[in-house]
Amino acid sequence: METLTGTNVKVNEEGYLLDFSEWNREVGEQIAQAEGITMTPRHWEVIQWLQDQVKADNALSIRGIKKSGVLDIKEFYALFPGGPLKISTKIAGVPKPKSCI
């Protein structure tokens, strides 16, 4: 259990939300701050795309993002340095992708 935006949300030992229904933009913003990310409209576009992919039951991977046409890998690393898929999915409130170690 962690308190974000004055609300208790359930997270696992790595900080991923256990229940997506507890996610909102403020929760995402606080997770981003904890990861050292200052969110911009471009960050939120990527977060929305990730959430849409998970809702559509599409597996997330760096390769899939590269092929998506949404952004290139260089931009992905620039937006979410230090592990872009791991950090971005945590901010998005979606489960950690199986491809992340």
List, in sequence order, the alpha helices (H) in 14-72.
25-34, 41-55, 62-68
Determine the Cα–Cα distance for residues 26 and 47; give it in Å rounded to an integer. 13
Q: Is 56 in the active site?
A: no
Determine the Cα–Cα distance for residues 78 and 100; give it in Å rounded to an integer. 18
Q: Which of 42, 59, 100, 101 is catalytic?
A: 100
User: Nearest Cα to 45, choosing from 67, 65, 20, 17?
Assistant: 65
Which residues are marked as active site?
100
